[in-house]
Amino acid sequence: MSPRKIIIDTDPGQDDAVAILLALASPEEIEVLGITAVAGNVPLPLTQRNARIVCELAGRQDVAVYAGCDAPLTRKLVTAEHVHGKTGLDGPQLPEPTMPLQEQHAVEFIIDTLRSNPKGSVTLCPLGPLTNIATAFQRAPDVVENVAEIVLMGGAYFEVGNITPAAEFNIYVDPQAADIVFQSGVRIVVMPLDVTHKALVTGARVQAFRTMGTEVGRMVAEWTDFFERFDKEKYGSEGAPLHDPCVIAYLIQPGLFQGRHVNVTVETGSELTLGMTVADWWRVTDRPPNAMFMGSLDADGFFDLLTDRLARL
Ligand code: RIB
Ligand code: CA
């Protein structure tokens, strides 16, 4: 079977970095057409820099990295240095990237790629706020029907919020963009906190990264050591939740995840619950199902896959 063509839209972020590495380590299943950076965990100049650092760490200076939107559609940018550190990739010391940033704007790249590939052949994998994706859909409505599927990390329902009591960070930063994406009619698979909070880097799992004996293994161990503080303090969890790699693992081994096809509607009005993903899990409304909302995963299977693939780099 030929590899699935994807665009990774991202705001690195240590967990984004692990997701990018997992994708680049899996060429049999995944062809990364390009990586588009968006403002999120840290401002755009850092997310585009960090995306290039990760590609170089994987030895993939050939991957095209694009800079996209530097602010949400209408709201002021909210960042997450309190989780990811000032650079967004705090933890290990990292060299500045040497590979070039593409000239073309990320939104134009997304539009051109969807127009120039056969209909239904390109999957979008947003790992941050949905600003680039929504802007592409607004600027070129014709490309919406060309998207094979959107597999995104974002939202929360039973797990409630991580940036406000009601909202998960990616959705909260740009709720208007998320609303456009969830109402677009594109097939959507959602990896919410409900599942990513079950993908925890326990001591044994981080040890598996460390004992890989590779630069990638060392980096991933140091990144997860750094960004687990927030979740340990807030939730008392036993390690960092690997949010974004769940998106890529789904592309490789979808059977690791279980969920329900339900209606997911984004709160865009109320300041109290802004960015909440209201998932009709018990189907109590007549709102049509528009997303496969994941609720659980085989965590051991996920980490076995992740460790096996990262060891290849
Ligand atoms: O809420 C978790 C999400 O927000 C992850 O994608 C993390 O990288 C941040 O972008
Ligand atoms: Ca992210």
- The overall average pLDDT reported for the chain is 97
> CA 92 to CA 270: how far, in whole Å?
40
Instruction: Kindly write down the DSSP assignment for every residue of 28-44, as one continuous string.
Output: TTEEEEEEEE-SSSS-H
> CA 172 to CA 163: how far, in whole Å?
8
11 CA to middle of ligand 1, Å?
8
> CA 214 to CA 171: how far, in whole Å?
34
Q: Dig out the tokens for 240 from the structure.
A: 């960092």
> CA 257 to CA 50: how far, in whole Å?
28
* Model pLDDT, residue 234: 84
Q: Is 90 exceeded by the pLDDT of residue 230?
A: no
pLDDT bin (cut points 50, 70, 90) of residue 215 is very high
Q: Dig out the tokens for 231 from the structure.
A: 């979740």
The pLDDT tens digits for 1-45 are 899 999 999 999 999 999 999 999 999 999 999 999 999 999 999
Q: Dig out the tokens for 186 from the structure.
A: 């594109």
297 CA to middle of ligand 1, Å?
18
Between CA 165 and CA 172, with CA 168 as vertex, the angle to 5 degrees is: 95
Pick from 8, 35, 54, 4: nearest CA to 310? 54
* Model pLDDT, residue 56: 98
Mutate to test the pocket of ligand 1, among 8, 9, 10, 11 (most ligand atoms within 8 A of CB): 11
Pick from 195, 197, 191, 199: nearest CA to 303? 199
Identify whether the C-beta of residue 215 lies closer than 8 Å to the C-beta of residue 17.
Answer: no
Q: Is the CB of 162 under 6 A from ligand 1?
A: yes
> CA 228 to CA 240: how far, in whole Å?
4
Q: Give, using CA atoms, the residue closest to atom 8 of ligand 1.
A: 13
Please state, for a pLDDT cut of 90, what percent of the chain lies above it.
95
Ligand 1 atom nearest to 16, measured from its CA: 8
> CA 279 to CA 284: how far, in whole Å?
10
Ligand 1 atom nearest to 170, measured from its CA: 4
pLDDT bin (cut points 50, 70, 90) of residue 212 is very high
DSSP 141: G
93 by Cβ neighbours in 10 Å (0-12 / 13-18 / 19+) ranks as exposed
Tell me what the mean pLDDT of segment 218-235 comes to: 90
Q: Is 90 exceeded by the pLDDT of residue 233?
A: no
The pLDDT tens digits for 282-312 are 999 999 999 999 999 999 999 999 999 999 9
> CA 266 to CA 278: how far, in whole Å?
6
What SS3 class is residue 263? Answer: coil
Beta pairing partners, 204: none
DSSP 184: S
CB count in 10 Å sphere of residue 312: 14
Identify whether the C-beta of residue 123 lies closer than 8 Å to the C-beta of residue 150.
Answer: yes
Q: Is the CB of 88 under 6 A from ligand 1?
A: no
Q: Active-site residue 243, yes or no? A: yes
In this structure, is the dihedral angle defined by the CA atoms of residues 232, 126, 222 and 83, taken in order, positive or negative?
negative
Integer angstrom CA distances of residue 143 from 50, 134, 140, 146: 28, 11, 6, 5
Identify whether the C-beta of residue 249 lies closer than 8 Å to the C-beta of residue 305.
Answer: yes
pLDDT bin (cut points 50, 70, 90) of residue 238 is confident
Radius of gyration of the chain (CA): 18
166 CA to middle of ligand 1, Å?
15
CATH numbers and ranges of domains, the chain = 4-310 (3.90.245.10)
